[in-house]
Copies of this chain bind each other. A is one copy, B any other.
Amino acid sequence: MTGMLPLSEAPYAAGRTSDFSETYRRAYRWMLLARVAEEKIASLYRGGKITGGVFVGRGQEAISVATGIALRDGDIFAPLIRDQAGRLAFGESLLDFTLTYLGARSGPMRGRDGNVHRGRPKEGLLPMISHLGAMGSVVNGMLLAHRFQGKKHTVGAVSLGDGATSTGAFHEFINQAAVEKLPLVLVITNNQFAYSTPTNRQFVCADLVDKAIGYGVTGHSVDGTDLAACLQTIGGAVQTARDGGGPQFVVATSLRLAGHGEHDDSHYIPPQLKETHLGRDCLSVAEEHILSQKWADATTVEAWHRDSHTQVEEAVAHSLREAAPDPAREDWCALSSRHLQEGPELHPPLKY
């Protein structure tokens, strides 16, 4: 149950259906599941049941899901803290999410790391380190390895925020991808804030996508509140990269509809901003679109909601029953070559 689902078996897998409404529906359902799951964890957080921070993707699920759903087995995805929708679409099981947030020993990070810092690198899902921008060059290296190994038509997607574009690491990795002509898709979610900091303290270019030309890569802009646009633009960018078009630089605009983390009331976000087009909730917009297009009727959508809640409740219930990590069973070994690990002799040989 834990771990990654083969994408073909994932309940709402995108497949490569030519039926756009089918893709849209699947994407919507991942977004919905992510939203429900994150709301559940947030409510557990408010109830004091979560250790550490909780970070949610509210308002940018469309961008995230469009990234995850465009990827296939063999591709690589480096999500960030707000990518629950994309993770699910890429194949991360809900249990990896709940087990990690709830600190179960059986989670993929075994209690060693927590919350958003999880992944299954063997299956192409990278466990982020916190340092912003640092995952991009790692994806470059994985794509370089694919090239060495003769694996063709794989793609690597990297998620980044507006704030992270100020890091030197961002600059070095997108430039490296350009020089090596790697099939890298960089999806920048400009949600207008980096923690409390508005974008005008991060950059002053007229449009973030203006950076693409300076790296010699293809730039794309997309309305991140519009799932159809995201699926098309990000899906298209992924396909272009897959077909040998080199690095793709996507800037998607949205508004962070939550605090930086659940500890943060985001009082600094001007209420007027929430009233603008940017402040639209991509999930409601997508739901309305499905209904208006008659891609599903209200009863079906209602059932999807119920199903998401059921899945989340089950995953949480299961995870709460799991054992916490036991320090006595921990091997305290940071090396794969166990015989080279140092440690115990530096401590007094305690008898306990």
In the bound complex, CA of A47 to CA of B158 (Å)? 53
Q: Which B residues touch A169, using CB under 8 A?
A: 168
CB distance from A210 to the nearest CB of B (A): 5
Q: Which B residues touch A170, using CB under 8 A?
A: 168, 171
Chain A: interface secondary structure? helix
Instruction: Specify which of B178, B204, B212 is in contact with A179 (CB 8 Å cutoff).
Output: B204
Q: Does A211 contact B (CB under 8 A)?
A: yes
In the bound complex, CA of A200 to CA of B179 (Å)? 7
In the bound complex, CA of A167 to CA of B173 (Å)? 10
Q: Which B residues touch A181, using CB under 8 A?
A: 204
Instruction: Specify which of B167, B172, B206, B215 is in contact with A216 (CB 8 Å cutoff).
Output: B206
Q: Does A348 contact B (CB under 8 A)?
A: no
Q: Does A21 contact B (CB under 8 A)?
A: no
A213 & B205 in contact (Cβ 8 Å cutoff): yes
**Within A184-207, which residues are at the interface with B (CB < 8 Å)?**
200-206
Q: Which B residues touch A172, using CB under 8 A?
A: 166-168, 171
Instruction: Specify which of B171, B201, B215, B216 is in contact with A168 (CB 8 Å cutoff).
Output: B171
B167 & A179 in contact (Cβ 8 Å cutoff): no
Q: A176 — nearest CB in chain B belongs to which residue?
A: B166
A179 & B202 in contact (Cβ 8 Å cutoff): yes
CB distance from A138 to the nearest CB of B (A): 15
B205 & A179 in contact (Cβ 8 Å cutoff): no
In the bound complex, CA of A135 to CA of B300 (Å)? 61
Instruction: Specify which of B166, B179, B206 is in contact with A201 (CB 8 Å cutoff).
Output: B179
CB distance from A98 to the nearest CB of B (A): 36
Q: Which B residues touch A327, using CB under 8 A?
A: none
Closest 4 CB pairs of A and B: A168-B168, A171-B171, A211-B214, A204-B216
A interface, CB within 8 angstroms of B: 166-172, 175, 178-179, 181, 200-206, 210-216
Q: List 13 contacting pairs A-B, 8 Å CB cutoff, sorted by A.
A: A166-B172, A168-B170, A175-B202, A178-B204, A179-B203, A203-B215, A205-B215, A206-B216, A210-B213, A210-B216, A211-B214, A212-B214, A214-B215
